Structure 1
Amino acid sequence: MNTLMSLWSRHEAELRGWLRARMPIQAEVEDILQDTFIKVMRQEPRLPDVAQPRAWLFEVARNTLIDRLRAAKPWVPLPADWEELPEESAQLDAVDALVACVPRVLSELDAQDREAIELCDLQGMAQAEFARIKGLSLSAAKSRVQRARQRMRERMAQGCQVSFDACGSVDDFVPRPPLPDVAQPGTLI
């Protein structure tokens, strides 16, 4: 305990200054410093094995700060007209209606892209399994699926005139005419 107290007293002010530079609220700095001290006390039996005690203290303080920041949930005030905001269900209705465009766009993709999307996204096959059955490395399979998704997204945006909001969610679209009654091999109807 004497070694720990000596180490702490030598570096406490430096730790406090380091935390102040990263956390503007003084009360938070003191709380983080106290939490750091508690963590260091719990690890005291490990202290003789630590090659660089000062660096170790800063590592514990950094991890404590990160834990505190991750746990913080920022509060965002509601707008004054929050009741007039569109319902989330309206966005879901647009997405549900957009599903009608999927078979048409899928039929327009090349066979390799269509297969990747049908197996991994529509049938829920794991990409590792897709890689195995196609004789690909996992990395190559993931790339193939990503490229297929990107091409499908581009086709959806172009063909169905899909527009996206700032968050990347579907905002609006123009439905395309349905597929002809004759089904093409490998397509969903």
Structure 2
Amino acid sequence: MENIEHIWTNYQAKLHSFIQSRVGDPTTADDILQDVFLTIYSKIGTLKDSRKIQSWIYQITRNKIIDYYRSHKKMDELPESLSTQDTNPEDEALEEISRCVLPMIHNLPPHYRETIMLSEIEGYKQKDVALKQGLSLPGVKKRIQRGRAMIKDMLLECCRFEFDRRGSVIDYENINSQCNDC
């Protein structure tokens, strides 16, 4: 078995470079490297084949890098430009439109309304909707498709939509005074 000083001498620079190439920050790389060597020191007795020490060390290093990203994923703060205080016009438009959709669903013919409510609002899988309604899966899919098309037509009768280049709604305008849902 190799001793820890020998491992440090042979691998420290390579590991630091390996870590830094994945995390981008030398200080963070130093911290991860320290964790790697603490693990090597505490687990060196578990290495069964000393010929595989390099792959063992690099596996520990990869695991520590993964641990670093997992632990920082939830803690990273959003940049100010993404702060929740700033409202996204796209989100506002979608939220307002979603309030219009439920009354429109209630205006659907009963068999479409029930199918859409189960699949889209209550979150049932289409297969479960088919069982619950005693229909075939293709029959449920067709009802959902037709129900969605009816809702789309109702929305287009009420509103004019503005889309971004990806096709997402960024704004809308009510164009029908008879439409009370939006």
Matching residue of 1:125: 124
Report if aligned partners of 1:20, 1:29 keep a CA contact under 8 Å in 2.
yes
| Structure 1, gaps ≥5 residues long | 180-189
Matched, 1:155 2:152: yes
Shift of 1:131: 7.3
Which shows bigger deviation, 53-62 or 36-45?
36-45
Which shows bigger deviation, 46-55 or 17-26?
46-55
Residue type matched to 1:69 in 2? Answer: Y
Q: How many residues align?
A: 161
Shift of 1:15: 1.0
Matching residue of 2:2: 3
Report if aligned partners of 1:47, 1:53 keep a CA contact under 8 Å in 2.
yes
Q: CA RMSD in A?
A: 4.8
Whole-Å separation in 2 of the counterparts to 1:100 and 1:115: 17
Partner of 1:174: helix, strand, or coil? strand
Of residues 68, 76, 93, the one that matches 2:79 is 76
Report if aligned partners of 1:20, 1:26 keep a CA contact under 8 Å in 2.
yes
Identity, in percent, stands at: 22
Q: TM-score, normalised by structure 2?
A: 0.56
Whole-Å separation in 1 of the counterparts to 2:8 and 2:86: 55
| Structure 2, gaps ≥5 residues long | none
Residue type matched to 1:63 in 2? Answer: N
Question: What do the CA deviations read for 1:89-147 (whole angstroms, capped 9, x no partner)?
Answer: xx5586245422445378779x78x76642133123356744765676xxx9xxx6xx9
Report if aligned partners of 1:164, 1:170 keep a CA contact under 8 Å in 2.
yes
Q: TM-score, normalised by structure 1?
A: 0.54
Distance 1:48 1:106, change over 3 A: farther
